[in-house]
Amino acid sequence: MLLRIIGKRNKERALPLTEPTLAMLREVWKIHRSTRWLFPNRRGTAHLSRKTARRAFNAARAACGYDDHFVPHTLRHSFATRLLEKNLDIRIVQMLLGHASIRSTEIYTHLSEPMRHNLRQLLGDSFAGLF
């Protein structure tokens, strides 16, 4: 239940594969049945090109009503932020994102609204009854 990803600079990492994601990928596979590529080109001879993937992303973004500020990296940023909001250890988030340095992952530790709420509650509980 691991998904092998080849990223920038041919860097490889393995990500946990959840049951819902596996079910979705099985449906996608039924369309092309490639034994090598998760998202193959039309002929099945190589992976999907960046241009084709970008075009598909832009079409999906437009269908959802988002503007040009919503880019693929927004999904990565949202993923990391949500994991940290759920109190997942930052070292695990670092591993999932494939960061060599924890400092790269720390960018995602900004105070989102759920984190602000949790901080307010923690501080409120900590200082309750002092005054």
pLDDT in tens, 57-80: 999 999 999 999 999 999 998 999
Residue 24: pLDDT band by 50, 70, 90 thresholds? Answer: very high
Mean pLDDT of the chain: 88
**Is the pLDDT assigned to residue 34 strictly greater than 90?**
yes
Looking at residue 98, its pLDDT comes to 86
DSSP string, 94-117: HHHHT-SSHHHHGGGGS--HHHHH
pLDDT of residue 131: 65
Residue 93, burial from CB neighbour count under 10 angstroms (0-12, 13-18, 19+): buried
